């Protein structure tokens, strides 16, 4: 197993801290806090060194959200501005370690991957290898984030990370909760994926699963033999309990995959429902999309948030075979052409504000406005950027 050194030095480097700030600023909440504190980027980068060196967990009040149509309760720990920036610095320094040995068909919370990429892979398996996609084993881990044992995670980190300062910083973040790792922290999604790498290799290499995919704690294995999948499920359950201190959820399923004239069952995974000859959206996402469309139709004027959400649903619809639902329930309620125009105008206006701010900052330092060049739409800018 490869060991990693000098990670703390990479974490506190100015280049890393500045890049981490640019990543953290993708969060609207983070930008609002910076604006409220009247903090410039340079000031944040400068202070971030002290935030890392003297890192202490803040006192958090858990936030409870109710997710999806089923209103499933989830407990979220929202990091402070300082914590979020420190976590980005840590992940940037440790990304080579996290990505080393990462299973190729793990698709949750990883750059360049996601549900849509996973959907394409499953469709390819179904289309090109129907023999080994006859049966499906579907399972997930019980209370995954809340159940990861600190002692085993820390022991795994000690084997790989040979940097005492980095380990101390990581352990402080892990210890923000007494049990498990905090759902809502940027480090949690990386640590959890990395913690399950051993499971991925066990399933693929020792159990010889032909087609296996994991989306965080949700797992799917395709196979040609039902009994083999049952034995595989038992082996996975034993591995989780003995090696990782986790428990397989009791609602696991082994079933005959869709075939013929509506025979067998479809696979509900990653927000999609997979059939042998088509892929449609999960019902809960369909309901959300149609409800949003009806709400927009009742308003005199759609907000920018409405426009962005509805266009996001259109992206889901475009990559699935759900156009009948679109034509019947969504298209009569909203005009996507108007929504796209609204988002475009808003983005151009936002670009204009950035331009004006940069010009004012540049001229305040004694420069000339033409030192900053941004292309502003004439609709919003009466004069050229000269």
The reported pLDDT for the residue numbered 384 is: 37
CA distance 238 to 234: 6
Identify the sign of the CA torsion 308, 109, 288, 143: negative
| Chain segment 168-193, per-residue pLDDT in tens | 999 999 999 988 999 999 999 999 99
pTM of the predicted model as reported, rounded to 2 decimal places: 0.84
Which fold, 7-273? Answer: Alpha-Beta Plaits (3.30.70)
Give the residue from 89, 90, 117 showing the smallest Cα distance to 20: 89
Between CA 21 and CA 44 the distance in angstroms is 8
Q: What is the mean pLDDT of each run of 10 residues along the chain (386 residues)?
A: 89 96 88 87 93 93 77 85 95 94 93 92 96 97 95 96 96 93 94 97 97 97 97 98 96 93 90 94 92 93 91 92 90 91 82 60 54 40 36
**CATH 3.30.70.270 location in the chain:** 7-273
Could you tell me the maximum CA-CA distance found in the chain, to the nearest angstrom? 77
Q: In whole angstroms, give the CA distance from residue 217 to residue 143.
A: 9
Query: Nearest 5°: CA angle at 35, between 31 and 40?
Result: 90
163-168 own/partner pairs: CB under 8 Å, 24+ apart: 163/4, 163/5, 163/6, 163/7, 163/8, 165/8, 166/7, 166/8, 166/11, 166/90, 166/93, 166/94
Q: How far apart are the first and last CA of the chain?
A: 58
What was the pLDDT predicted at 377?
38
Write the pLDDT tens digit of every residue in 131-168: 999 999 999 999 999 999 999 999 999 999 999 999 99
Amino acid 60: pLDDT? 87
Q: What is the pLDDT of residue 81?
A: 92
At residue 125, the 3 state secondary structure works out as helix
């Amino acid at each position: 197993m490869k060991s990693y050194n000098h990670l703390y030095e990479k974490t506190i480097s100015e280049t890393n801290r500045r890049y981490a700030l640019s990543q953290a600023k993708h969060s609207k909440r983070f930008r609002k806090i910076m604006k409220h504190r009247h903090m410039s980027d340079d000031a944040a980068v400068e202070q971030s060194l002290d935030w890392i060196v003297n890192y202490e967990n803040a006192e958090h009040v858990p936030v409870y959200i109710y997710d999806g149509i089923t209103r499933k309760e989830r407990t979220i720990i929202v990091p402070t501005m300082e914590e979020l920036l420190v976590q980005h610095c840590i992940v940037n320094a440790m990304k080579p370690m996290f990505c080393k040995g990462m299973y190729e068909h793990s698709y949750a919370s990883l750059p360049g991957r996601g549900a849509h990429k996973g959907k394409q892979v499953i469709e390819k398996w179904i289309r090109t290898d129907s023999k080994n996609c006859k049966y499906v084993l579907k399972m997930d881990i019980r209370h995954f984030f809340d159940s990861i044992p600190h002692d085993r995670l820390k022991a795994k980190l000690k084997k790989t990370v040979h940097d005492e300062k980095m380990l101390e910083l990581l352990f402080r973040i892990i210890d923000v909760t007494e049990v498990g790792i905090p759902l809502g922290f940027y480090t949690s999604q990386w640590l959890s994926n990395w913690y399950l790498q051993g499971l991925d290799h066990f399933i693929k290499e020792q159990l010889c699963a032909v087609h296996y995919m994991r989306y965080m704690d949700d797992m799917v294995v395709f196979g040609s033999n039902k009994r083999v999948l049952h034995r595989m499920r038992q082996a996975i359950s034993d591995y989780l309990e003995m090696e990782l201190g986790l428990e397989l959820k009791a609602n696991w399923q082994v079933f005959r995959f869709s075939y013929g004239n509506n025979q067998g069952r479809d696979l509900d995974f990653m927000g999609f429902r997979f059939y042998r000859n088509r892929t449609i959206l999960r019902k809960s996402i369909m309901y959300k999309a149609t409800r949003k469309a009806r709400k927009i139709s009742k308003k005199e004027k759609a907000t920018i948030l409405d426009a962005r959400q509805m266009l996001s649903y259109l992206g889901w619809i475009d990559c699935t075979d759900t156009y009948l639902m679109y034509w019947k329930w969504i298209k009569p309620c909203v005009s996507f052409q108007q929504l796209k125009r609204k988002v475009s105008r808003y983005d151009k206006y936002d670009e204009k504000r950035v331009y004006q701010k940069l010009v004012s900052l540049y001229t305040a330092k004694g420069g000339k406005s033409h030192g900053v060049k941004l292309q502003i739409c004439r609709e919003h800018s009466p004069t050229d950027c000269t």
